[in-house]
């Protein structure tokens, strides 16, 4: 199936693009928002900032979540370059088709390719957070696109097996009674119960968010998640995979990421530093940066420090490309 991806992209790019009147690809991006119409429905996007530096495109996690958590980070980084975010089809401010066959990794990769081409991003830096890291890595590996100047994989999901191995290790650090509630409900198929939900929050309070007082941007009120997509593709919780991504694994292709690549993780991330170090070893020349006061949601928990880390890397890549 993978080798046919390029054949499918043409159909995506054929779709109409709703843009701000002042947009002109040749002249560079300007701040605006709009929709890219793709098979299945409209995908909402927003451009932060402007300038001549190579744009950064951020792909959010989930599946089924939205890009709103990146607003503070995008606002800071867009002081130097355009930053593009988008809500994947079915989530946030994008269209919500009823066709559940749309919710798979291959379509998500084609969606990224279509949006990039529609916005005229001949050269681009790509950043993927969590499931977004899956999309970015899969896009580069399967489509081998030109013009990807660098890749940032933030707390990435690159192998479901390794993710669950990490999750099981992190679960073993929870109180014994919480572990028992999780185990019992998963075995009984009662993962919708109140006690399972409460036990899940204990895990999330340690490894999803490390800082208890973090608040989502107000824009998230207009960008609700779609938990149906999350359940279909992933499962009921971050640490229990039952969906169609249960066999997902792009690690055999990581060596194809020949462009500058940076991993960024929170110290208390669900994507454990030890596992990310293994991914780093698969990509010659790649680097790892750690945000010391964050969990998995480091782009929101430490967006100011994240912006510095990100922009330092992007500037260095831009500088090298100009030589």
Active site residues per annotation:
130, 269, 296
Dihedral-angle region of residue 189 (phi above 0 means left; psi in -120 to 50 means alpha; beta otherwise): left
**Whole-angstrom distance, CA of residue 65 vs CA of residue 71:** 14
CA angle 192/189/163 to nearest 5° reads 85
Q: Which residues pair with 58 in a beta bridge?
A: 85, 127
Do the strands 287-291 and 261-266 form a parallel or antiparallel pair, or are they unpaired? parallel
Distance of CA 146 to the CA centre of its chain: 20
Dihedral-angle region of residue 261 (phi above 0 means left; psi in -120 to 50 means alpha; beta otherwise): beta
3-state secondary structure of 321: helix
């Amino acid at each position: 199936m993978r080798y046919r991806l390029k054949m499918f992209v043409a159909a995506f790019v054929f779709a109409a693009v709703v843009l701000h009147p002042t947009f002109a690809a040749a002249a560079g991006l300007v701040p605006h928002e709009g929709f890219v119409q793709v098979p299945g429905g409209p995908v909402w996007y927003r451009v932060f900032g402007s300038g001549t530096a190579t744009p950064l495109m951020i792909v959010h996690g989930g599946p089924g979540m939205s890009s709103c958590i990146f607003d503070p980070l995008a606002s800071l980084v867009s002081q130097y370059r355009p930053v593009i975010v988008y809500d994947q089809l079915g989530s946030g401010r994008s269209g919500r088709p009823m066709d559940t066959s749309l919710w798979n990794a291959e379509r998500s990769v084609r969606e990224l390719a279509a949006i990039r081409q529609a916005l005229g991003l001949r050269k681009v830096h790509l950043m993927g957070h969590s499931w977004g890291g899956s999309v970015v890595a899969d896009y580069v590996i399967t489509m081998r696109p030109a013009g990807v100047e660098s890749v940032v994989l933030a707390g990435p999901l690159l192998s479901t097996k390794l993710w669950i191995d990490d999750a099981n290790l992190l679960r073993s650090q929870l109180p014994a009674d919480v572990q028992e509630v999780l185990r019992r409900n998963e075995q009984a198929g009662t993962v919708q119960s109140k006690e399972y939900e409460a036990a899940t929050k204990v895990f999330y309070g340690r490894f999803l968010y490390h800082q208890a007082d973090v608040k989502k941007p107000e824009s998230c009120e207009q960008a609700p998640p779609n938990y149906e997509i999350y359940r279909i593709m992933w499962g009921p919780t971050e640490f229990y995979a039952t969906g169609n991504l249960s066999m997902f694994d792009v690690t055999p292709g990581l060596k194809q990421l020949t462009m500058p690549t940076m991993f960024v993780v929170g110290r208390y991330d669900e994507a454990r530093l030890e596992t990310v170090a293994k991914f780093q070893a698969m990509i010659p020349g790649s680097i790892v940066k750690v945000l010391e006061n964050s969990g998995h949601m480091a782009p929101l928990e430490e967006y100011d420090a994240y912006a510095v880390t990100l922009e330092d890397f992007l500037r260095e890549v831009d500088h090298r490309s100009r030589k």
